[in-house]
């Protein structure tokens, strides 16, 4: 059967009823009201032969109904067996009809059957539960059915689900969080839960872009938060730090600019590496840290050698420009360059050497950390040089060795010191500068 024909699947527990309690009419009433394309009735050994025929008579014409399935349980009072059976059937149908909307009618059946149906609906997050009702006799049983009571299961599971999503958010699973929080926000009526879902969806989508260095996209998403806050108060109600959110919007504004104050992108890359390290993704962290060292050297090279606005200031450097501040290095590279070429690409080692020869303070700081205290002894490199060698042997560089956590943590400390040294010379405190680049933690996740 084509799953395109099955838009809605209704599960019903089927009880016995009696002359004064025609449950078959209640079941038919629900089917007519919900108009499913597939009906699944959970029966007992007794009701399959007694209630079902009466139900079919009460149902009458139902042209929209494509298929009816019925299953019979072994023990209508064994709630554990019923839950396992119902879960299996729901999962099989969800696999076969992934786009179908599933609902549960627990009007009739034994109490264990109804309890199992409700438990399965909540466990599998089926969106709606139904209960047919009407005027009752002195025992509380319905004499006839005249209305359907529907319950949104989203409210039942939302608090727990939002706690789980908050913890996933803190682990950096922003795409997964966004895909669940966005539709959830539209389903909830409780003001606090709705605020949590709405604010979480906004931040997860923005942070997902930000974590991929898509600064323009992240800025366009995050700068909308004040409008949402004014309209619904969702961020303050959910407990987010709005002052820090405002600082993040400002930070992203500088990061996305084509000519940003250079420390914003530096600290953003450092914060990104810190997140990868916290997640245990050590190879990813080291790849970012290497790029950060290279970026620091490139920025200082651009400043010292007065390179114009180009994407890579250490690529295709004219030899006469290099010779203006680093004549020895320029002479060495000229020997290595073909006569008709007058430009050279500088790797990290040559960039640091050019800065040192130019008398730059950062070059003087980096040289012993890269080459060691005795540059003539290449085998005795400094701490930064040894870490870069290990990086070169990793899978994301040129080798086949996975990066160990101890090495990644040591590399982070070394690069942190390099960035701190650079920013100190510019009168910027790294601890303060990096704060807007560090993602907020979900305020309710710990106790969610």
pLDDT in tens, 45-88: 999 999 999 999 999 998 899 999 999 999 999 999 999 999 99
Alpha carbons 22 and 20: distance in angstroms, whole number: 6
Q: Which of 256, 288, 305 is the last residue of a domain?
A: 256
Residue 376 has pLDDT above 70, yes or no: no
Confirm whether 212 is domain-assigned.
yes
Same domain? For 401 and 282 the reply is: yes
For 309-341, write each residue's pLDDT tens digit: 888 999 999 999 999 999 999 999 888 876 557
Distances (CA, A) of 63 to 8, 34, 35, 105: 14, 13, 9, 20
Higher pLDDT, 382 or 145: 382
Same domain? For 24 and 88 the reply is: yes
Same domain? For 238 and 116 the reply is: no
Residue-level pLDDT at 448: 41
Same domain? For 236 and 163 the reply is: yes
Confirm whether 213 is domain-assigned.
yes
Same domain? For 90 and 60 the reply is: yes
Report which of 394, 365, 389, 173 is spatially closest to residue 285, judged by C-alpha positions.
394
Q: How many C-beta atoms lie closer than 10 Å to residue 155's C-beta?
A: 13
Q: Which of 99, 134, 152 is the last residue of a domain?
A: 152
Q: Among 188-192, 200-204, 432-436, which is the least confidently predicted range?
A: 188-192
For residue 21, the domain's CATH number is 3.40.50.10770
Q: How many C-beta atoms lie closer than 10 Å to residue 199's C-beta?
A: 27
Q: Which of 152, 168, 200 is the last residue of a domain?
A: 152
Same domain? For 21 and 163 the reply is: no
pTM to 2 decimal places = 0.76
- pLDDT tier at 259 (50, 70, 90 boundaries)? confident
Confirm whether 342 is domain-assigned.
no
Q: What is the average pLDDT across 291-300?
A: 94
Same domain? For 286 and 389 the reply is: yes
Contacts 24+ apart (CB under 8 A), 133-138: 133/26, 133/107, 134/26, 137/20, 137/21
Residue-level pLDDT at 261: 65
Confirm whether 385 is domain-assigned.
yes
Same domain? For 245 and 294 the reply is: no
Please name the residues in contact with 247: beta carbons below 8 A apart, sequence gap of 6 or more.
435, 436
Confirm whether 320 is domain-assigned.
no
Confirm whether 445 is domain-assigned.
no
Residue 380 has pLDDT above 70, yes or no: no
Q: 151 has which bridge partners?
A: 129
Same domain? For 176 and 131 the reply is: no
H helix runs in 78-170, sequence order: 79-96, 111-123, 154-170
Same domain? For 185 and 220 the reply is: yes
Residue 371 has pLDDT above 90, yes or no: no
Domain with 97, as residue range(s), is 8-152
- Domain total in the chain: 3
Same domain? For 428 and 280 the reply is: yes
How do beta strands 128-133 and 38-43 pair?
Answer: unpaired
262: enclosing H helix or E strand: helix 262-278
Confirm whether 268 is domain-assigned.
no
Same domain? For 430 and 376 the reply is: yes
SS3 state at 323: helix
Confirm whether 341 is domain-assigned.
no
């Amino acid at each position: 059967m084509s799953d395109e024909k099955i838009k809605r699947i209704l599960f019903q527990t089927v009880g016995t009823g009696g002359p004064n309690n025609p449950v078959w009419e209640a079941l038919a009433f629900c089917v007519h009201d919900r108009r499913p394309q597939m009906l699944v009735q959970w029966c007992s050994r007794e009701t399959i032969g007694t209630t079902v025929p009466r139900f079919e008579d009460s149902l009458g014409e139902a042209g929209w109904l494509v298929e009816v399935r019925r299953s019979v349980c072994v023990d209508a009072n064994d709630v554990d067996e019923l839950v396992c059976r119902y879960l299996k059937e729901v999962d099989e149908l969800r696999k076969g009809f992934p786009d179908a909307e599933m609902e549960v009618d627990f009007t009739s059946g034994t109490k264990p059957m109804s309890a199992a149906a409700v438990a399965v609906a909540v466990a599998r997050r089926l969106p709606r539960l139904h209960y047919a009702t009407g005027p009752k006799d002195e025992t509380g049983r319905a004499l006839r059915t005249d209305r359907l009571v529907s319950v949104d299961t989203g409210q039942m599971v939302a608090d727990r689900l939002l706690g789980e999503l908050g913890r996933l958010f803190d682990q950096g699973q922003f795409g997964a969080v966004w895909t669940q929080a966005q539709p959830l926000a539209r389903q909830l009526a409780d003001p606090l839960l709705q605020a949590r879902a709405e604010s979480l969806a906004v931040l997860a989508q923005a942070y997902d872009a930000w974590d991929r260095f898509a600064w323009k996209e992240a800025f366009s998403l995050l700068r909308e938060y004040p409008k949402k806050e004014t309209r619904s108060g969702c961020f303050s109600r959910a407990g987010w730090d709005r002052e820090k959110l405002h600082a993040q919007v400002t930070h992203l504004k500088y990061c996305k600019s084509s000519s940003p104050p250079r420390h914003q992108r530096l600290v953003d890359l450092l914060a990104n590496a810190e997140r990868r390290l916290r997640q245990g993704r050590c190879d990813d962290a080291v790849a970012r840290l290497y790029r950060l060292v290279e970026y620091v050297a490139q920025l200082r090279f651009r400043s010292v050698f007065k390179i114009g606005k180009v994407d890579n200031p250490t690529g295709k450097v004219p030899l006469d420009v290099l010779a203006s501040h680093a004549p020895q290095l320029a002479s060495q590279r000229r020997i290595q360059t073909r006569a008709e070429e007058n430009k050279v690409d500088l790797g990290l080692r040559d960039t640091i050497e050019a800065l040192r020869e130019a008398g730059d303070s950062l070059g003087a700081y980096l040289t012993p950390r890269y080459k060691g205290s005795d540059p003539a002894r290449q085998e005795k490199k400094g701490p930064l040089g040894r870490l870069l060698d290990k990086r070169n042997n990793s899978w994301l560089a040129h080798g086949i060795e996975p990066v160990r956590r101890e090495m990644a943590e040591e590399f982070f400390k070394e690069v942190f010191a390099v960035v701190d040294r650079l920013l100190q010379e510019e009168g910027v405190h790294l601890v303060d500068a990096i704060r807007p680049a560090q993602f907020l933690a979900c305020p309710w996740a710990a106790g969610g």
